[in-house]
């Protein structure tokens, strides 16, 4: 097995000498310069140059100039090739930094804008759906309050049971509560309280929170509908709490001095989330309460241990004991 001899690096002077002695333009330059020097030396020795030596001197100068011109032409060709290769690389780098990188940034910016647009549009769809649920809860509470008013407070249990059953077909685990109150919507009115002797009653599981026993003072006689949060522990005395959403509607009878309020709760449970995903394509995964000072003024409602997964402790309809409102 033969081994190839490695090429030995040549010195730059050997390369120049080889170019001058082993190429035709180099030989022309060397011979022309040599003849020129010889004629100059003879002229200096004789004190002048004859016609023949003048012709020889001229031919030598032309020969050296021709060889030098050929050398310059070859150097220009070689430099042109190398410079063009460098310009090509520079053009490639310029294309990468001027063309490819901005195009990549434009694509990334477009994707980011699309993500933000989808996020905002999805948020709008979720808020719109929750507002629709709030309107539905308020409509149910208003229709229940008017039906109780038309019946004069009689057969309260059957009214709220029927309303809750109709509501539960579309919104599972819906709950209804009737809360007595003695608030005047029109100050100075001499009208009697509408069914002031009505006792509290509930219909539905009420497995998420305890049934309300009073109407907060910040709810005026126009009613209320909105989204609330409640937290519960899956296991009693557990430090970790789960937070969920509910939609609550509060309505009063059409009277200047209503004696009761109807409260309807719709849970944002798995069925509502699945319906929301089918209608909007947005999935509502989880809800979290803000910790620390940020949540000082807004706390979730205290839920029952086990939440909606626990077994309801109350029957479908339950009369609650009357308790004076807190001051």
Write the pLDDT tens digit of every residue in 133-183. Answer: 999 999 999 999 999 888 887 888 899 999 999 998 888 889 999 998 877
Cα separation of 252 and 12, whole Å? 105
CA distance readout (Å), 154 to 112, 159, 254: 60, 9, 17
Give every CB contact of residue 221 below 8 A, 6+ residues apart in sequence. Answer: 183, 185, 252, 258
Cα separation of 120 and 273, whole Å? 18
Q: Give pLDDT tens digits for 222-247.
A: 889 999 888 887 665 566 778 888 99
Tokens 């949540």 -> residue = 295
Question: Do the beta carbons of residue 289 and residue 231 sit within 8 Å?
Answer: yes
Q: At residue 124, does pLDDT exceed 80? A: yes
Q: At residue 71, does pLDDT exceed 60? A: yes
- Token output for 295: 């949540």
Cα separation of 50 and 235, whole Å? 126
Q: What is the DSSP string of 171-226?
A: STT-EEEEEE----SSTT--PPPBTTTPPPEEES---SBPPP-S--TTS-TT-EEE
What pLDDT, on a 0 to 100 scale, did the predictor assign at position 111?
92
Does the predicted model carry a pTM greater than 0.85? no
> Quick one: pLDDT band at residue 322, thresholds 50, 70, 90?
very low
- What are the extents of the domains in the chain? 12-94, 126-319
What pLDDT, on a 0 to 100 scale, did the predictor assign at position 140?
92
**What is the DSSP pairing of strand 301-302 with strand 224-232?**
parallel
Strand partners, 318: 202
Determine how many CB atoms are found less than 10 A away from the CB of residue 34: 12
What pLDDT, on a 0 to 100 scale, did the predictor assign at position 8?
45
What pLDDT, on a 0 to 100 scale, did the predictor assign at position 107?
92
What pLDDT, on a 0 to 100 scale, did the predictor assign at position 254?
85
Higher pLDDT, 19 or 10: 19
Would you give the distance in Å from CA 27 to the centre of its chain? Answer: 76
Question: Do the beta carbons of residue 74 and residue 96 sit within 8 Å?
Answer: no
Question: Do the beta carbons of residue 168 and residue 316 sit within 8 Å?
Answer: no
Higher pLDDT, 300 or 19: 300
Percentage of residues in the chain having pLDDT higher than 90: 14
Would you give the distance in Å from CA 81 to the centre of its chain? Answer: 51
Q: At residue 317, does pLDDT exceed 50? A: no
- Token output for 7: 């090429």
> Quick one: pLDDT band at residue 87, thresholds 50, 70, 90?
low
């Amino acid at each position: 097995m033969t081994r190839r001899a490695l090429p030995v690096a040549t010195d730059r002077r050997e390369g120049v000498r080889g170019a001058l002695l082993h190429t035709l333009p180099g030989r022309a330059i060397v011979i022309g310069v040599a003849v020129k020097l010889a004629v100059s030396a003879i002229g200096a020795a004789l004190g002048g140059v004859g016609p023949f030596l003048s012709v020889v001197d001229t031919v030598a100068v032309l020969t050296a100039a021709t060889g030098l011109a050929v050398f310059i032409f070859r150097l220009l060709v070689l430099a042109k090739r190398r410079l063009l290769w460098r310009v090509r690389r520079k053009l490639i780098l310029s294309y990468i930094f001027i063309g490819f990188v901005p195009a990549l940034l434009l694509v990334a910016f477009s994707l980011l804008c699309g993500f933000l647009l989808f996020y905002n549009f999805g948020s709008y769809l979720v808020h719109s759906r929750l507002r629709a649920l709030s309107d539905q809860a308020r409509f149910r509470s208003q229709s229940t309050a008017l039906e109780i008013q038309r019946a004069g407070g009689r057969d309260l249990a059957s009214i709220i049971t029927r309303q809750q059953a109709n509501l539960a077909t579309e919104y599972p685990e819906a709950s209804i509560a009737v809360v007595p109150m003695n608030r005047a919507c029109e100050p100075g009115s001499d009208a009697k309280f509408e069914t002031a002797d009505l006792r509290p009653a509930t219909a539905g599981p009420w497995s998420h929170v305890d049934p309300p026993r009073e109407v907060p003072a910040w709810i005026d006689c126009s009613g209320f509908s909105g989204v609330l949060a409640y937290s519960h522990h899956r296991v009693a005395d557990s430090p970790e709490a789960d937070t969920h959403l509910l939609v609550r509607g509060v309505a009063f009878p059409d009277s200047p001095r209503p004696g009761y309020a109807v409260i309807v709760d719709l849970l944002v449970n798995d069925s509502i989330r699945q319906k929301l995903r089918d209608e909007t394509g947005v999935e509502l995964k989880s809800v979290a309460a803000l910790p620390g000072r940020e949540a000082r003024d807004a706390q979730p409602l205290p839920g029952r241990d086990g939440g909606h997964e626990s077994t309801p402790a109350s029957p479908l309809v339950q009369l609650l004991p009357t308790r004076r409102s807190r001051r």
